[in-house]
């Protein structure tokens, strides 16, 4: 691993922006109907439970990335296979995020620009920052955190004073009971985006103060979860359920309705810039996790020599992941949750925790004798 350290504030910035990601823009939790905001809060609670599965495993190996200690838990060969599969899954999710950004940009702003050009330029910038190292990524996130907060304040202010909010849109609460809310929260929202924070198990050794992991992780998770819930609530009060269900990017539609004094309008740039920032850091973290995992598994000298080749694979994957954006979304909320998020962010981490406890118990029994 590169010899670098990041502060707790920088880690918080990375985690907070990572959690917002594409969830801030896409149709998120809408299967719960008018109570989508409540399903996000429940999903956030599920993310907190997942953290207490991840954290004991991390505490046992605070100075190692996931790919190094997964072999000690499952055995050398099975652990290596699992580690490699994690690298592939991180790269796959990074490609999905790049595709989300590319499709939003090509449909809203750069309508005449080929998707390949958008993906290539975006990924090359990510590769450049990652080539500089994790410290540069951390300092960049620390700066852009304030930019993101400012954009959020501006966007929310204009929506709130626009007069487009209708609280009748979210009534009655619990119209269809708790069933749709719970099935939306678990496992979909629990794993996306909160379970995806498992990728930070690759980055934890870079933190300069390991004692602050719990406070930093939980703070970022709760803050981002509250913002996602508020955004879903605001979108529902402005657009209503019918429009929300049909809208690909409801946040973009919400901000697009703002029109004040026949002067302040066309604020789509706020949403596009927000997505640019959140997806940039989320894709960068997944790409970096995949890269340092490959470096660790194949015993390479450093991450810099493979950043560009893996970046090219990321561009190719993001272009071929689906034939259309509707297919891309369908795959993301169905196959991706079932075959990537649940196994890699719930089942395998839980098995790691159980096996670690069993091994510790056996070790203590043998030492006692």
- Locate the domains of the chain by residue range: 8-368
Q: What is the pLDDT of residue 369?
A: 63
Residue 55 reports pLDDT greater than 90: yes
* 170 or 333, higher pLDDT: 170
* Whole-number Å distance between alpha carbons of 197 and 192: 9
Place of tokens 């300092």: 139
* Whole-number Å distance between alpha carbons of 302 and 57: 26
What is the average per-residue pLDDT within 217-232? 96
- What count of Cα atoms within 13 Å lies in the side-chain half-sphere of residue 299? 1
Q: What is the pLDDT of residue 198?
A: 97
Q: Using one digit for the tens of pLDDT, what is the confidence trace for 92-114?
A: 999 999 999 998 888 878 888 99
* 363 or 195, higher pLDDT: 195
Share of residues in the chain with pLDDT > 90 (%): 68
Strand segments (E) across the chain: 259-260, 264-265
- Domain 8-368 - what CATH class? mainly alpha
Residue 265 reports pLDDT greater than 80: no
* Whole-number Å distance between alpha carbons of 100 and 279: 8
Query: 205: which 2 tokens?
Result: 């050794």
Query: 302: which 2 tokens?
Result: 């450093």
Residue 346 reports pLDDT greater than 70: yes
Q: Which residues pair with 207 in a beta bridge?
A: 6
Query: Helix 8-20 and helix 268-297: axis angle, to 10°?
Result: 120
What is the average per-residue pLDDT within 9-24? 94
Radius of gyration of the chain from Cα atoms? 21
């Amino acid at each position: 691993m590169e010899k670098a350290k990041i502060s707790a504030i920088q880690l918080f910035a990375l985690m907070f922006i990572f959690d917002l990601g594409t969830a801030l823009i896409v149709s998120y939790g809408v299967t719960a109907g008018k109570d989508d905001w409540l399903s996000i809060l429940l999903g956030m609670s599920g993310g907190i439970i997942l953290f207490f599965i991840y954290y004991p495993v991390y505490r046992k190996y605070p100075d190692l990335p996931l790919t190094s200690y997964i072999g000690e838990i499952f055995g050398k060969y099975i652990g290596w296979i699992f580690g490699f599969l994690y690298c592939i899954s991180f790269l796959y999710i990074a490609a999905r995020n790049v595709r989300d950004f590319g499709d939003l940009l090509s449909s809203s702003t750069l309508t005449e620009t080929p998707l390949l050009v958008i993906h290539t330029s975006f990924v090359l910038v990510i590769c450049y920052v990652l080539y500089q190292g994790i410290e540069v990524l951390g300092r960049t996130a620390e700066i852009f955190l304030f930019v993101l907060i400012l954009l959020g304040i501006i966007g929310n202010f204009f929506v709130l004073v626009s007069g487009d909010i209708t609280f009748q849109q979210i009534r009655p609460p619990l119209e269809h009971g708790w069933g749709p809310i719970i099935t939306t929260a678990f496992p979909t929202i629990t794993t996306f985006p909160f379970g995806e924070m498992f990728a930070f198990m690759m980055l934890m050794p870079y933190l300069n103060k390991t004692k602050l992991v719990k406070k930093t992780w939980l703070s970022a998770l709760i803050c981002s979860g509250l913002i996602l819930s508020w955004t879903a609530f605001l979108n529902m009060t402005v657009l209503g359920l019918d429009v929300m269900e049909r809208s690909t990017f409801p946040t973009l539609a919400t901000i697009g309705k703002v029109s004040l004094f026949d002067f302040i309008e066309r604020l789509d740039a706020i949403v596009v810039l927000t997505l640019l920032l959140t997806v940039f850091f989320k894709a960068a973290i997944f790409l970096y996790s995949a890269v340092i995992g490959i470096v660790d598994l194949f015993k390479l000298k450093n991450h810099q020599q493979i950043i560009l080749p893996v970046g090219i694979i990321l561009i190719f994957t993001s272009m071929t992941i689906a034939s259309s954006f509707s297919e891309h979304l369908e795959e993301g909320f169905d196959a991706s949750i079932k075959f990537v998020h649940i196994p890699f962010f719930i089942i395998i981490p839980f098995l790691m925790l159980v096996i670690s406890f069993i091994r510790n118990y056996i070790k203590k029994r043998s030492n006692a004798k």
